[in-house]
Amino acid sequence: MSNERIAFLKGHGTENDFVIVPDPDGRLELPASLVARLCDRRAGIGGDGVLHVVRSAAHPEARAMADEAEWFMDYRNGDGSVAEMCGNGVRVFARYLEHAGLVEAGDLAIATRAGVRRVHLAKDAAGPGTGEVTVTMGRAELPEEQVTVTVGGRSWPARNVNMGNPHAVAFVEDLDHAGDLLSAPPFSPAAVYPDGVNVEFVVDRGPRHVAMRVHERGSGETRSCGTGACAVAVAAARRDGDDPAITGSPVSYTVDVPGGRLVITELPDGTVEMTGPAVIVAEGTIDPAWLAAATA
């Protein structure tokens, strides 16, 4: 790898930002140490994670999904660890495919470690790459385990929600109560999340309108978290007595994140949809000398 000139792009969804590494044939090895260096905001390109773009048929974890989805999102957290899903990442991944001319606006499927996700790239009068992106995020699971999160001497009960990855959603009076979120907020009992958890702190802004901050497992506090926004909307709906499976009507929540705004809709069949922006901001190549030093 050290002699190769590797292409990259930089993109974000509500300021949850990613280094995009196109690798259609799955030839690149991305050890955790290299991913962490790529995501380093001072010594690397900088990002909350890496979107490794591979054809499903070329990746051993995705071959079984190749008939449904041509492309596999091999997502890595900013610390280099492997993650099951990233909601904002799926939108940016889809935007990259459109940007590269690999898909057109409309419907497509993307394989992830949490399964196939259906995506709609909206056409916009302003031109390609400007319309919002809607992702079908699957169904939320609501495990019954009771969880508590603690910050600075304050503790809150948290709703356990799984969106293909685990979340603990705590409703608080003030988002500042979440502290600096530089490190993962302690939670108990520890056995509920043996591999760690994404923790969301949520306040109300109005009817079916909330705001959140999040500590993402493996990345720290991020400007946005798509799966987290979905978990927050589902938790808020249950708190408010809004269960689409019971009412038979979709329920939508507006979720403000530090980097922008997402709209989350839960359908009567339990499917959760997320709509928001996705932007490609730059592209280039990784310097071979830097890459050689990073992988030495």
Binding-site residue set:
16, 77, 87-88, 165, 198, 216-217, 226-227
**Does the annotation count 230 as an active-site position?**
no
Beta-carbon-side half-sphere exposure of residue 149 (alpha carbons within 13 Å) = 27
Instruction: Give the 3-state secondary structure of 98-151.
Output: HHCCCCCCEEEEEEECCEEEEEEECCCCCCCCCCCEEEEEEECECCCCCEEEEE
Strand partners, 133: 121, 276
Helix (H) or strand (E) holding 260: strand 260-266
Among 261, 251, 168, which residue's Cα sits nearest to residue 210? 261
Tokens, residue 114: 């949490």
Q: Determine the residue type at 231.
A: A
* 86 part of the active site: yes
From 149, 225, 237, 262, the catalytic residue: 225
Per the listing, tokens 């929540």 go with 253
Binding residues for substrate: 16, 77, 87-88, 165, 198, 216-217, 226-227
Residue 87 CB-density burial (10 A; 0-12 exposed, 13-18 middle, 19+ buried): buried
Q: Which of 20, 21, 53, 86 is catalytic?
A: 86
Catalytically active residues, by annotation: 86, 225
